[in-house]
Amino acid sequence: MVKRVQEKFKCDGLDATFAAVTNNDPEFNTHNQYPFIYRLDGVNVAHGARPAFVGKNLFNLKDPDGVRLISRMTDIVNEHGSGWIDYKSPNPITNVIEGKTSYVEKIGDYIVGAGVYRQ
């Protein structure tokens, strides 16, 4: 999923990619898997499940266990370029808080990620 976003960036540019992700383009939204894109300062620019996040600075957002999601994702991509993070998040289909594992990658000045819910 992250590679699809990367390819869209290359082919169609940032604005088209942000719109496709946020507007649930079928290429980027399958069942309960979707990408999300944040600037490195924590501002969300695209979200496949929560369009209300777009434009908000979520750098200090915490999951129910206190994991600072975006802060940690920023650390991962700045230190390693890419990596994995475990946290809890509402499943967009059931709205139940579930464990989730996401892969995040630094693409330019952005964090692009996608994950899977673990039950």
* pLDDT at position 112: 97
For 21, phi then psi, to 5°, come to -65, -50
Cα separation, 46 vs 82, in Å, equals 19
Q: Tokens 């989730």 sit at which residue?
A: 100
* 99-117 pLDDT per residue, tens: 999 999 999 999 999 999 9
- Is the pTM here over 0.85, yes or no? yes
* 7-32 pLDDT per residue, tens: 999 999 999 999 999 987 878 877 77
* pLDDT at position 118: 87
Cα separation, 68 vs 91, in Å, equals 18
* 27-78 pLDDT per residue, tens: 887 777 899 999 999 999 999 989 999 999 999 999 999 999 999 999 999 9
Write down the CATH number for the domain with range 2-118.
3.30.450.20
CA dist 10 → 3, 28, 32, 33, 107 (Å): 11, 15, 25, 22, 11
Q: What residue segments make up the domains of the chain, in order of their start?
A: 2-118
